[in-house]
Structure 1
């Protein structure tokens, strides 16, 4: 099993999930059926599928650290139908590999059907998005934190003592500004493109590039800025290149997402704090 799991060493999320499912099976096989994995038959596999639906009390417990003596392989509520089907698929694939490398003569899990599940409708998770007004408040707060105050310079000897506390507070805010600029860049990037935290952390500069598409200001936007429909070409807002980021996300799927101008400005400010040139 270690040899099988070693194939996923470069995919930590998958490795963790597969390890969990196979570890559960090994514990059940040794403790409940009292036989090694290599001796499991079809009826044993069917019994384990039923076990996944209702684990015995000695296998369930609240979440504990893996090194704790009170750790249990299953939560008190057991597994959902989808999780049971996932476990069967993972185990079947592992046994198929054991057959492929000649460790087993046959795969008993090939005769076991997955638990019946319902394919649920994929609804847009609007409830997970911030309301527009709250998002604007977050952005304003980030901008305020990122702008370091100018330290007051005393002009008279007596003013130095009066402004000492203000200078200390301003200096602390000045020192924290680079960290806030890094947070702003990450938050705007995730807000623009819907990236997960892991995806944002693993994003690379070389995967961020301008596309061939250019954004154009709409007629309504020109009117709001004071331009009429017959405004001179020299006064029009010039098209701006649309930037995109290519990332590899969940299930190793590659996708390309847009990045706004505000996010690019935040990234440039963060790179300047690191003494790096963003547009090199």
Structure 2
């Protein structure tokens, strides 16, 4: 039952009227990752490609649904998705967009896939940076396997990746619940977790809630805020986050409980969220 829940596109992962664009995609994680890499540009990594983004391009990073991403991509260039766009003409997003677009493609092929929110250890030495990856069901290996669809050859070189991004080691990407447990047990410094000038236990707690939402097929923007998310360690509901972190660390073992937990109004994505980058409420 768990696999079936992640087998079909729904909500943000639904290509809607653009599903026909997926008809001729190469199958599986490797092929779809390459396609995604030819379509998207990470807004903070663009300089590594010699690209300077306009304000209009930066605004594309606020698109939430795959259908909106695809509409924008084909409006700029109607060629098949398998034709890589020039770097300066790619749709702009962040790790969450790379992840969600690949999840949508894999689900369109009938392969169970889901987005995971957490922290990558491979961007900056000694730091765990805010990041998203794809998790798909690897039938051959009988386990969920993580893929970083953002890591094209340029970024593999830039970040000196020492592993295959088609099978990200669990110690190189920590789902938010693992990061929370590690810090709560004294195994890591919460100040090593975050992004830019935002670090600490409160940031990890926010990602625990985002990961719970993603596991319930609501893959929000990394800067969307709602409910029990706070920006002060002293205001965290520790008992609540402890419980949710434990569920998200083993989501398949606690699937029904995880689904029930998401009905808590402190955790479920409401009709309106707060976009912390644009500093305004937006419809979710």
Return the TM-score normalized by structure 1. Answer: 0.24
Larger radius of gyration: 1
Answer 1 or 2: higher relative contact order, Cα 8 Å, separation at least 6.
2
